[in-house]
């Protein structure tokens, strides 16, 4: 499927409208002159020069000068100029909107929110609603952000691109029930765009409503969805376990593979689906053949460097320890890490059944913050750890009722456990492991949507990733004060209740029966394991590699049996 995995928004970002706006040469020269005044005589002198120059000019002229200041990275100057303009023309709504933009880019989110809410109190304003949603999301107030954009979606009439953008924003804010509601409302109004059905199918799939998802995907296909942009046939295979080759999906996959208009990536998506279906029915040779073709095609569009990965691991192993600058706070982050397909999604799902645990799924936030810290000098990095921890906790807690423990199950967070230890002394880490050959096969046969999982397309790359993961985890155990608890996949699927029961005291949680999901929660699952994690736990995937030992000799050559 097409889709975004989510992102962290921050006040330093520039909106798409601002990025696309092109000022005239005369306007650029004028702002150059003001900035020259600022360099020579200070910002107040430059502001006075701009004020005298603009005088009683129309609001649009004041606004455009301020927008050029924003493009030049001067949001505070832009804000001061816009406040002067508003004193002269208080009824002009565009000045208030761009003043909010200036505050937002300056990092003054409270003032930005106040301006936007004041503007929206006077009536609808789509751009202001979108900007307010970005401000709210940056503060971790995802419920409020999603509600804001839902209002825009409901007020939009014939702009399907705008409606889809609203629905995807709501989905990315983890408000899947609301996103599904928006889809159904639009469909009830007679919208026939197949993209709407494709998005609705994706949302229902992530909610675990697989029959509803299939109905929407069927409608998208019947409506002529662009299969090079929306990988609907590939998504169908994630909705069930196939029993025999008579299922209609086999004929569907074959038909699409005969379509010469499919791109390499779209064709690979269908081949991954066909391989999964063949594996379900025990046609292992057909499955291996389909997956090999799929991986060959996907390697044409993505790449992963073993050399860069090994350099990264070496740098992480030799990095000096970070001194913690974070005080203990309410709320214990639980990081579920390991290689992909080692049971991290199942582990997070089982922990999320505890009444004191909130499962946040696979968050991108930690990696974003680590990359931002990496751009600083070592001394600055240590000083900014507490700020980074605060941002992370804001996105962990959001505007939901508080919990005592929060799960982040991004498996690749194993790369940054030293940063975790410095930011969160109270954190717990669960390291999920699985038999290496089963792990490699499961990774290689899975159509990961994210390009940062490009290692999955080659067994040699998977082996390099596995070796680096093992090195880092050994290093973290020896050097970090964090409690790191190992959970073996085979043990987890053999007796999930006992495994979780043994974990709870180590996580600081009270005893609880994890056999049944909590009735009050419906956490969306957006990882590659979204179907498996909602099924009764089974052991069919233990030693699965043996079916492929002769068909995929790399499994035996590159990976240990235990």
Q: Where are the domains of the chain?
A: 16-213, 226-298, 306-558
Closest C-alpha to 342, from 478, 492, 173: 492
Cβ neighbours of residue 533 closer than 8 Å, sequence gap 6 or more = 345, 346, 349, 525, 527
Residue 334 CA: distances (Å) to CA of 139, 141, 207, 326, 527? 21, 21, 23, 16, 17
Name the more confident of 135 and 44: 135
pLDDT at 6 over 70: no
Count the residues in the chain: 562
Are 146 and 173 in contact by the 8 Å Cβ rule? The answer is yes
Name the more confident of 297 and 50: 297
Residue 335 CA: distances (Å) to CA of 431, 485, 501, 548? 8, 10, 18, 32
Confidence of residue 37 (pLDDT cuts 50, 70, 90): confident
- Identify the DSSP state of 413: G
pLDDT value of residue 327: 58
pLDDT value of residue 219: 96
pLDDT at 321 over 90: no
pLDDT at 98 over 60: yes
For residues 245-273, average pLDDT: 96
β-sheet with 405-408: strand ranges across: 357-359, 405-408, 332-338, 428-433, 484-488
In the CATH hierarchy, which fold is given to the domain comprising 16-213?
1.25.40
Best CATH choice for the domain 306-558 from the list 3.40.50.300, 2.40.37.10, 3.40.366.10, 3.30.450.20: 3.40.50.300
The residue assigned the tokens 């991108």 is: 364
For residues 540-550, average pLDDT: 92
Rama region for 398: left / alpha / beta (φ>0; ψ in -120 to 50; rest): left
**Poorest-pLDDT segment among 177-181, 199-203, 421-425, 459-463:** 421-425
pLDDT value of residue 325: 63
- Identify the DSSP state of 484: E
Confidence of residue 519 (pLDDT cuts 50, 70, 90): low
Are 357 and 405 in contact by the 8 Å Cβ rule? The answer is yes
Three-class DSSP category at 407: strand
Name the more confident of 18 and 348: 348
Three-class DSSP category at 205: helix
pLDDT at 1 over 70: no
Structure tokens at 345: 């999604």
pLDDT digits (tens, 9 = 90+) for 136-185: 998 999 999 999 999 999 988 789 999 999 999 999 999 999 999 999 99
Are 213 and 205 in contact by the 8 Å Cβ rule? The answer is yes
Q: What is the percent of the chain with per-residue pLDDT over 70, rounded to a whole number?
A: 91
For residues 302-313, average pLDDT: 96
pLDDT value of residue 522: 57
pLDDT value of residue 8: 30
pLDDT digits (tens, 9 = 90+) for 368-401: 999 988 888 877 887 788 889 999 999 999 999 9
pLDDT digits (tens, 9 = 90+) for 475-518: 999 999 999 999 999 999 999 999 999 999 999 999 998 777 66
The dihedrals phi and psi of 518, each to the nearest 5 degrees, come to -70, 130
Closest C-alpha to 73, from 35, 23, 111, 130: 35
pLDDT value of residue 192: 83
For residues 336-363, average pLDDT: 94
Rama region for 64: left / alpha / beta (φ>0; ψ in -120 to 50; rest): alpha
Q: CB count, 10 Å around CB of 156?
A: 16
Give the mean pLDDT of the chain. 89
Measured between its terminal Cα atoms, the distance across the chain in Å is: 35
For residues 200-218, average pLDDT: 94
pLDDT at 352 over 90: yes
Per-position DSSP letters for 282-347, written without gaps between them = T-HHHHHHHHHHHHHHHTTT----HHHHHHHHHHHHHSPPPPP-----SSEEEEEEESTTSSHHHH
pLDDT value of residue 561: 84
Confidence of residue 451 (pLDDT cuts 50, 70, 90): confident
């Amino acid at each position: 499927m097409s889709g975004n995995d989510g992102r962290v928004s921050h006040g330093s970002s520039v909106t798409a409208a601002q990025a696309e706006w092109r000022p005239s040469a005369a306007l650029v020269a004028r702002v150059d002159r003001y900035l020259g005044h600022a360099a020579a005589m200070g910002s107040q002198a430059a502001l006075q020069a701009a004020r005298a120059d603009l005088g009683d000019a129309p609001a649009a002229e004041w606004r455009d000068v301020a927008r050029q200041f924003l493009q030049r990275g001067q949001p505070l100057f832009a804000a001061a100029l816009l406040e002067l303009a508003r004193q002269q023309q208080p009824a002009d709504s565009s000045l208030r909107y761009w003043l909010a933009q200036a505050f937002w880019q300056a990092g003054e989110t409270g003032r930005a929110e106040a301006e936007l809410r004041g503007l929206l109190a006077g009536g609808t304003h789509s751009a202001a609603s979108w900007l307010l949603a970005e401000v709210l999301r940056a503060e971790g107030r995802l419920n409020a952000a999603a509600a804001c954009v839902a209002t825009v979606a409901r007020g939009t009439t014939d702009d399907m691109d705008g409606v889809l953008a609203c629905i995807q924003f709501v989905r990315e804010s983890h408000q899947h029930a609301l996103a599904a509601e928006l889809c159904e409302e639009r469909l009830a109004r007679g919208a026939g765009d197949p993209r709407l059905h494709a998005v609705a199918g994706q949302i229902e799939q992530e909610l675990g409503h697989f029959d509803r998802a299939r109905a929407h995907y069927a409608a998208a296909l019947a409506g002529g969805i662009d299969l090079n942009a929306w990988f609907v046939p590939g998504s169908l295979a994630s909705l069930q376990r196939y029993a025999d080759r008579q299922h209609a999906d086999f004929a569907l996959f074959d038909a699409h593979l005969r379509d010469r208009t499919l791109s390499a990536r779209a064709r690979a998506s269908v081949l991954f689906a066909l391989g999964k279906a063949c594996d379900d029915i025990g046609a292992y040779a057909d499955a291996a053949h389909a997956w090999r073709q799929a991986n060959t095609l996907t390697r044409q569009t993505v790449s992963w460097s073993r050399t860069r990965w090994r350099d990264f691991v070496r740098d992480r192993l030799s990095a000096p320890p970070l001194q913690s600058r974070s005080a203990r706070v309410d709320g214990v982050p639980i990081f579920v890490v390991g290689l992909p397909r080692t049971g991290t999604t199942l582990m997070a799902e089982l922990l999320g059944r505890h009444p004191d645990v909130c499962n946040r799924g696979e968050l991108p936030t930690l990696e974003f913050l680590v990359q931002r810290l990496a751009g600083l000098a070592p001394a600055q990095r240590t000083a900014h750890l507490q700020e980074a921890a605060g941002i992370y906790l804001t996105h962990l807690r959001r505007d939901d009722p508080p919990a005592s423990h929060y799960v982040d199950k991004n498996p690749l967070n194993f790369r940054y456990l030293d940063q975790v230890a410095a930011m969160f002394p109270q954190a717990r880490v669960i390291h999920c492991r699985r038999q290496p050959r089963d792990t490699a096969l499961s990774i290689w046969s899975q159509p990961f949507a994210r390009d940062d999982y490009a290692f999955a397309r080659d067994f040699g790359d998977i082996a390099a990733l596995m070796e680096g993961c093992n090195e880092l985890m050994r290093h973290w155990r020896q050097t970090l004060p964090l409690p790191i608890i190992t959970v073996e996949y085979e043990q987890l699927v053999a007796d999930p209740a006992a495994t979780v029961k043994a974990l709870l005291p180590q996580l600081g949680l009270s005893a609880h029966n994890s056999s049944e999901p909590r009735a009050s929660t419906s956490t969306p699952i957006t990882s590659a394991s979204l179907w498996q994690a909602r099924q009764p736990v089974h052991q069919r995937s233990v030693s699965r590699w043996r079916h492929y030992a002769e068909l995929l000799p790399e499994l035996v050559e590159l990976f240990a049996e235990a």
